[in-house]
Structure 1
Amino acid sequence: MLTRRLFLKSSALIGCSAAASPWLSSAAFASAPGDNRLVIIILRGAMDGLDVFQPYGDRDLAGLRRTLSLGPDRNATDLDGFFALHPALSPLLPLWNAGQLSFAPAVSTPYRDKRSHFDGQDMLEAGTGTDLETEAQQDGWLNRLLQQMPGQDSETAYSVAAAQMRILQGAAPAKSWTPRAIMDLSPQAQLLLTQIYHEDPLFRDASQQAMEIVAGLSPGITSTRNGEEHLELARFAADRLNGATRIASFSLPGWDTHVRQTNGLTRALTRLSDTILTLKADLGRNWERTTIMAMTEFGRTVRENGSGGTDHGTGGAMLVAGGAVRGGRALGDWPGLSEGDLYAGRDLMPLRDIRAYAAWAMHAKFGIPKAVLEGAVFPGLDMGPDPRLLA
């Protein structure tokens, strides 16, 4: 049984016509020179950073959220006397204590006011500064990063997803992989299809490469159970990162918590925690050279709504983990939650462009010059002061 289909996007070995092969579907990864690893996780649906990293030390929080985000009194774990960690992320506390987990509590892309998931995610992955730039810029910021890195090839970067990820689209070669796209094909059926496409080099070569990649995966990569797709993503990413791949990106859904946020956020955070710990376990000694950045399109309102949830907001939070991280601390400043401190009177005020943290990580991990990061990779970005994100 063949249990994976691969869409090898932007690969010089096959070309765009491979997308028509009946064997192939989407996902993404990339490789780069050196030993540093980077994993970008897109948290689709707008994660509520105020509930994940709870600013219980802010005296205005309790009045805004009567059932959410109440700090250590509600089983959250104190981190530094001001912020507390949501109980669903408690398995990550050893990383915090080891200096391998950090977060930025008041960040956003330049996206403002419209609060559309589609547009917000598009801008996050495009890495642009305005809606017009996002429409004009068809590639993603990770792909533009690859274009500035000498010596990278189609194994350097992978995007892992059920749908194509814009963050790795572009001229630089990258690969894609889709989990759980099952084709029940016996060896005889595989042989038959090979014979059928024998005279068509595009279909023949694409199908053959897909089978070879699946066959080359580590044991256990090609099997999963329902509800464990996030673990499969992590295992596959670690498998490639332990080889030639240096950059991986995938997304985790389930962060849109308008109703009964306590239940929905707990499920999503449990998946995120399990994903990070699976990456750590499977990466082995390569964990020490790995940086994971978990980003979301925007934050949520500071006030909870009448359905036990929160609505689309502006300022959010970014999680950073890995053996290469200078962790055990909150990154940046805190804007406050008093009425005059809020954005538009309803949202957490973002104090820093989330792209700046990504850019400083690229500068530290891969030596990309600031001028290139502020121009070619993230158009119009002012990186600001170095947050010393990485050790």
Structure 2
Amino acid sequence: MLSRRLFLKSGALLGCSAAAHPFLSSITFASAPGDNRLVVIILRGAMDGLDVFQPYGDPELAQLRRKLSVGPQNGAHDLDGFFALHPALGDLMPLWKAGELGFVPAVSTPYRDKRSHFDGQDILEAGSGTDMPLRAQRDGWLNRLLQNMPGVESHTAYSVGLDEMRILEGPAATRSWSPATQFRLSPQGQRLLQHVWHDDPLFREAGSQAVQIISDGIEAVNEPGGPTRDARAIAQFAAARLNEETRIASFSISGWDSHAQQEKTLQRPMQRLAAAILTLKEGLGANWGRTTVLAMTEFGRTVRENGGGGTDHGTGGAMLMAGGAIRGGRALGDWPGLRESDLYAGRDLMPLRDIRAYAAWAMHDLFNVQNDILERAVFPDLDMGDNPGILA
């Protein structure tokens, strides 16, 4: 059955590119058989995994980052004696202690060396095995997952931002709406408009979408103000859908581009990420125990801080996992080290595993998707390797 997607677009250019814009956010939903739930959060702007999950136990870190505060002695929350969680994510520590938060410290897509936000996000969301985005798979891996899962039908999906999420692109129809638009009509007014636009395909389609958005109740989402309001509102809306027939949701949190004043720049996106995860947990209630959250970014950042107290575009980064369904309270995978000889191109954290493998194993274990489908159709050219055991 043809899946349906719905996009909402808004925002303006800021930062080094629109792809790193702190206000861009996207969300989509899909139904699927069973009770397990998957939430994919795209962290736009290239999150510095070395700052979020600080490997303070590696003696090289303090030498590479003299201006950036790292480690428990500077307010970070110790996780396991080697890694520490950034202070701005301290609200997530109860999840870590409950085994509902984990991470992978050295992952990346196959994208290498060009370090462009747009290209990196294309590769991440396309799920392609190539680093040539213009020649890469034209649709997104979440869309291909839906196409290859029996019994899946996408549910009314909402995307907020300037650009459609490539992770959703594919043969399914798309819709768009601006969240700044107010559209309030009486039932009689709606019937009148439907009569007026009936013979005009363009207006008929756009008008029908607007009416459906209102009937779906997105305007009913009500969150108090503050810097995390939008993240909480999106998560609240997602949780409400996931408590119904929706089983797969994806949205984005931006603002992770930190070329200068990183300690200040990353405060707000980290607060948004923590708020989104905690709002999901609260909103899902008992269904949190059947939920897996994967937070992924287009690439990591340089291991050395720059002269502006920030970090530049790199390669290896971190993936965050959360949810009651995961086996958390741990770092998955190995640590490559930060010595000069350990780095990629002498400047970046060396990625030890393809981030797509973790997403693939999550979908395998959550929805019983066969390995050959994941390695050929969903993530072309992927070798999934051994199961990392994300789920509890």
Which TM-score bucket, shorter chain as reference? 0.7 to 0.9
Q: What is the rounded CA distance, in whole Å, between the counterparts of 2:32 and 2:268 in structure 1? A: 34
Residues 175-206 of structure 1, C-alpha deviations (whole Å, 9 max, x = no match): 76767332254537655533421344674465
TM-score by length of 2: 0.88
1:128-139 alignment to 2 at 5 Å?
128-132=128-132, 135-139=135-139
Counterpart residue identity of residue 370, structure 1: N
Cα distance in 2 for partners of 1:176, 1:35 equals 27
Q: Which residue of 1 aligns with 2:14?
A: none
Q: What is the 5 A alignment of 1:283-322?
A: 283-322=284-323
CA change 1:236–1:177 in 2 (3 A) is farther
Q: Which amino acid aligns with 2:182?
A: M
* Shift in Å, 1:137: 1.4
Show CA shifts across 1:46-100 (max 9, x none).
Answer: 0000000000000111100012252001000100000000011110011000100
Alignment of 1:218-229 (within 5 A): 220-221=220-221, 225=225, 227=227, 228-229=229-230
Aligned-CA RMSD value: 2.6
- Aligned partner of 1:161 in structure 2 is 160
Match of 2:90 in 1: 90
TM-score, normalisation: structure 1: 0.88
Specify the alignment match of 1:81 in structure 2.
81
Aligned to 2:198: 198
Identity %: 64
Distance 1:295 1:27, change over 3 A: closer
Question: Structure 1 residues 70, 132: CA separation in 2 closer, same or farther (over 3 Å shift)?
Answer: closer
Aligned AA (2:127): G
Matches within 5 A, 1:45-124: 45-124=45-124
Q: Are the structure 2 counterparts of residues 288 and 179 from structure 1 closer, same or farther at C-alpha, using a change threshold of 3 Å? A: farther
Segment of structure 1 superposing worse, 65-74 or 205-214: 205-214
Distance 2:266 2:165 in 1: 23
Aligned to 1:282: 283
Structure 2 vs 1, CA of residues 223 and 88 (structure 1 numbering), >3 Å: closer, same or farther? closer
Give the C-alpha shift of residue 45 in structure 1: 0.3
Q: Residue in 1 aligned with 2:181?
A: 182
Q: Map 1:134-145; keep pairs closer than 5 Å.
A: 135-145=135-145
In the other structure, the counterpart of 2:349 is 348
The answer to whether the Cα contact below 8 Å between 1:64 and 1:302 also exists between their aligned partners in 2 is yes
Q: 1:86 to 1:27 in 2, by over 3 A?
A: closer
Question: How far is 1:390 from its partner?
Answer: 0.6
TM-fit CA distance, 1:154: 2.9
Distance of aligned partners of 1:79 and 1:42 in 2 relative to their CA distance in 1, 3 Å threshold: same
The SS at the match of 1:158 is coil
Give distance in 1, aligned partners of 2:242 and 2:285.
11
Structure 2 vs 1, CA of residues 324 and 379 (structure 1 numbering), >3 Å: closer, same or farther? same
1:284 Cα shift? 1.3
1: CA distance between counterparts of 2:158 and 2:190?
A: 26
In structure 1, runs of 5+ residues without a counterpart are: 1-8, 20-25
CA distance in 1, matches of 2:287, 2:295: 19
**Are residues 197 and 176 of structure 1, via their aligned partners in 2, closer, same or farther at CA, if it must alter by over 3 Å?**
closer
Gap regions ≥5 residues in structure 2 = 10-25
Query: Are 1:289 and 1:324, in contact at CA under 8 Å, matched by a contact in 2?
Result: yes
Q: Could you tell me how far 1:131 is from its partner in structure 2?
A: 2.9
Give the residue type in structure 2 aligned to 1:352.
R
Deviation at 1:283, TM superposition (A): 1.1
Kindly state the Cα deviation for residue 35 of structure 1 after the two structures are TM-superposed. Answer: 1.0
Hey, what's the Cα distance between the residues in 1 that align with 2:27 and 2:204? 20
Equivalent residues of 1:32, 1:151 under 8 A apart: yes
Find the counterpart in structure 1 of residue 18 from structure 2. Answer: none
8 Å contact kept, 1:56–1:69: no
